[in-house]
Structures are given as structure tokens and as C-alpha cells.
Amino acid sequence: MGYAMERVKSRRAIIVGGSLGGLFAANLLRKIGWEVHVFESAGKELASRGAGIATHQELLTVVNGLGITIDESIGIRVGSKLCYDSAGNMVHQVPADRIMSAWSRFYRPMRELIPDTHYRFAMPATGFKQDADGVTVFFQNGEEMSANLLIAADGLRSTIRQQLMPYVQPHYAGYVAWRGQVDEKELPEALHRELFDYQTFCLPEGEMMITNPMPGANDDVRPGFRRYNFVWYHPVDGDRGLPDLCTDATGHCHGTSIAHALIRPDVIENIKDVAHRLLAPQIAKAFCLSPRFFFQPIFDLESPRLVEGRVVLLGDAAFVVRPHVGMGVAKAALDAQCLADALVFHKNDWVRALGQYEQARLTFGQRAVARGRWLGAHLEAQNKPRSMRTKEELHQYPEVVAREVGKQIKEIPELAELVQ
């Protein structure tokens, strides 16, 4: 029978998507007294998503506000950014003060705060309907649930957004991020000494490789148990190159992404060859030590509205910012904080609260997306003839990239003024 027949409590929210955006919203709304139910389509705990993430002070502040301890164990502090050329010479160095953490380091403690009865796996939402009395969400297994608010935190391909605004589609940026990680114990001593403590950049024309230390298995930050993380933005045309990368050994094309275990061996061999041809030798060597490689096509997405009645878009369901800004998780945290603050400010008058949320987060999202496009312009332009590229698209200056990529929110004037 599901929950539809129950009387809807006056402050019940359904959250579709149980990744970081959904968990920020769930925890912050619970904190202000809402009954929250999270529905995640994946069949099991997501903590094994091993991605490294750069942090922002604003993100740590939101997490701290949930009572989660923020100390040195949150990640690894990086004190310098180094740029290498293709020959392996260090061509630029700037100070940095950045904590490199792991996706799971945020997921685990926030997930632990939600009782299992209120966080359900293997529950893909298929759609919703709303009227003056509430909103009802439908799930693939036939269940349904009603609430006062529906928060769509279901990411880039949001089912909820597609029902609301089918015309809003992700834009493929023309490049993918190849990713790899190496346990620090597996790095030869000389490579460890040269690279491990730094965020490094290698910028051959049309490429952007970024490396950094990150926590190891179970978010371990003890020396000897950490990992080295690689994110390599590499142009791949969307018409033929991307479908080919996403085609498995049986000839089946999986669309615009493919599970790492299904990537063809020839694709992996090829990217290792390209690494040795294009990247600084020490960085290519370290990258090729990764026991497993995968890639993520880079998209961006802008929603023209974030609210429709009782439905709210949040995190990547609302805006997808290219990862050069290093801010997707922080943006999701700030979205959720803004929503919770607006509900408190308007004493749970959700119409006014959602209006305030939309106004604030639309501007932030638009500016963040624009910044991501600016930082990725050089990479995106690789799919155009050289003669058609602007000056900005032709050159990628190490000092600009090292300064601007992953900058703290408070150092980006157009965003800083929105998070006072």
C-alpha cells in the first residue's frame, strides 16, 4: 500500500537521490524538525565511490554545523601547486592552502546520521504529481509516498527535472576526465618524493592533467596509507570518439558513460600510450601505475528555474558545474543550507521559502557554470579548427590555470559576494 494513504505530516520532505546533495538536504532539514525520507536508486551503500575531492571552507562549515567533526583527518593539506611541462620540467610553482579529501569522507558520516528506515536503496523514482494538498512521488517498484516538499537531488540526469523541464539537457563539453588512483606505497620513492605532497598540473596543448594526494582506503590519512589521485581532462569528440569509448568488448554502446569494468582493454592501452606521449614523464609514469582507470564525460547544465510548486531542484540536478571549479559538492551543501535557512526564516511557509531559495541559488549556479566554461574553454576548443579559436581558447597559461582552477569560493569575487 505504501505511504500514500497516510495523513501527510505538515513538515515531511521526500528527497530523491541519496548522494551528497541528498544527504546535505536530509540532514539540514532534519535538524530544523522536518521528517525526511531519502530514496536512492543505487542498490547499496555509495561509500565505495572512491573519488577525491577538493574542499572549500564553506563546505566544511556546513558539515561542521551537522555536528560532524572537522579535523586533520578530513583530508590531506596541500601547500603548493606545481606545473610541469611535457618534458618534465617544473615551469611554475605557487603556494596553495587546500585540503584534498575524499567523497566517501563526507558520505559516510552524513549517511550514518539518517536512520535506515528513512534512507532506502534500490528505490528509483519514476515521477511525481502535485496539487494544493501535497506532492506524491512514484517509484519503480510500484510504491508511492506523499509529502509537503519534494527535493530533487538526483544529479545530472535527474528524473524529476526531466518531468518538470524536459527541454533542459546536459551539454557535453567535448572532453572527458580520465581518472586513476595509486596507493602511495606503490609509488616508487623518487616519484613519491617529487609529486606526492603537491597538487600538480601538466598542460600540454589541449590537455589538463591534475594530480593530488587524497585519503586511502576507509578514508585513511596516515602516511603510508594514502593515495595519489589523477584527473586528466582529455578532448574526445562527441560524435564518434565518445560512443567508441563507451562501447564494450561485445560491441554494445552504453551511451555517454560506461562502467569501469566494461572499458575495453584497447581503450586503456591507448590512453596509457597517449599519457606517455603527451604528459610529463614522471606524471605519466605515476598515472600508468593506477590499477584501475575510468573516465567521466564532462557536462554542464543550467536549469532556468529551481522551483515548481512544491518541487525543488538541488545540487547537480539544478546546475552542473565543470569540475575545474572544484565546487560541485560545496555548491550542493550551500544549496541545502540555503533551503534550510529559508524554511526557518519564513517559519516553514514553504511558498516564500522556496522563492527565496530559487532567487539566491539561481544566481550562484549561473555564475559557477559560467566560471567552469571559462576554465574549460581551451579544452572544449580542441574540437574546433585552430583558425576558429579565440586567443583564450588557443593558449592555456600555467600561471593562470594554477591560480584559477579549484580556487576557494571566497577568492572568486562573483561567487564570494553571494555567500556572505
Ligand X SMILES: Cc1cc2nc3c(=O)[nH]c(=O)nc-3n(C[C@H](O)[C@H](O)[C@H](O)COP(=O)(O)OP(=O)(O)OC[C@H]3O[C@@H](n4cnc5c(N)ncnc54)[C@H](O)[C@@H]3O)c2cc1C
Task: Give the binding site for ligand X (CB under 6 A).
Answer: 16-22, 39-42, 46, 53-54, 124-125, 153-156, 159, 177, 231, 296, 315-316, 323, 326-330, 332
Nearer to ligand X, 20 or 280 (CB): 20
Q: What number of other Cβ atoms are within 10 A of residue 292's Cβ? A: 12
Of the candidates 403, 79, 107, 78, which has an alpha carbon nearest to the alpha carbon of residue 213?
A: 78
Smallest distance, ligand X to C-beta of residue 330, A: 5
Smallest distance, ligand X to C-beta of residue 39, A: 5
Smallest distance, ligand X to C-beta of residue 323, A: 3
Smallest distance, ligand X to C-beta of residue 61, A: 14
Q: Which residues pair with 214 in a beta bridge?
A: 227
Nearer to ligand X, 43 or 115 (CB): 43
Nearer to ligand X, 84 or 128 (CB): 128
User: Sheet holding 171-183: strands in order across?
Assistant: 52-54, 90-102, 76-84, 199-202, 208-214, 227-235, 171-183, 293-302, 319-320
> CA–CA separation, 245 vs 263, rounded Å?
7
Smallest distance, ligand X to C-beta of residue 14, A: 10
Nearer to ligand X, 13 or 177 (CB): 177
Nearer to ligand X, 116 or 189 (CB): 116
Smallest distance, ligand X to C-beta of residue 329, A: 3
> CA–CA separation, 291 vs 228, rounded Å?
12
CA distances from 203 to 60, 234, 353, 376, 417 (A): 30, 11, 45, 12, 31
Of the candidates 17, 119, 100, which has an alpha carbon nearest to the alpha carbon of residue 60?
A: 100
Q: Number of C-alpha atoms within 13 angstroms, CB side, residue 162? A: 11
Nearer to ligand X, 2 or 88 (CB): 2
Q: Closest CB to ligand X belongs to which residue?
A: 328
CA distances from 240 to 177, 254, 342, 383 (A): 17, 13, 46, 12
Smallest distance, ligand X to C-beta of residue 303, A: 12
Nearer to ligand X, 235 or 323 (CB): 323
CA distances from 338 to 100, 162, 267, 357 (A): 25, 23, 43, 6
> CA–CA separation, 330 vs 418, rounded Å?
13
Smallest distance, ligand X to C-beta of residue 53, A: 4
Nearer to ligand X, 180 or 216 (CB): 180
Q: What number of other Cβ atoms are within 10 A of residue 393's Cβ? A: 16
Smallest distance, ligand X to C-beta of residue 4, A: 17
Nearer to ligand X, 370 or 391 (CB): 370
Nearer to ligand X, 91 or 156 (CB): 156
Smallest distance, ligand X to C-beta of residue 335, A: 8
Q: Mind giving me the DSSP string for 53-105?
A: EE--HHHHHHHHHTT---SGGG-EEEEEEEEE-TTS-EEEEEEEEEEEEEHHH
Instruction: List the grid coordinates of 41.
Output: 536508486
Give the largest Cα separation in the chain, rounded: 67
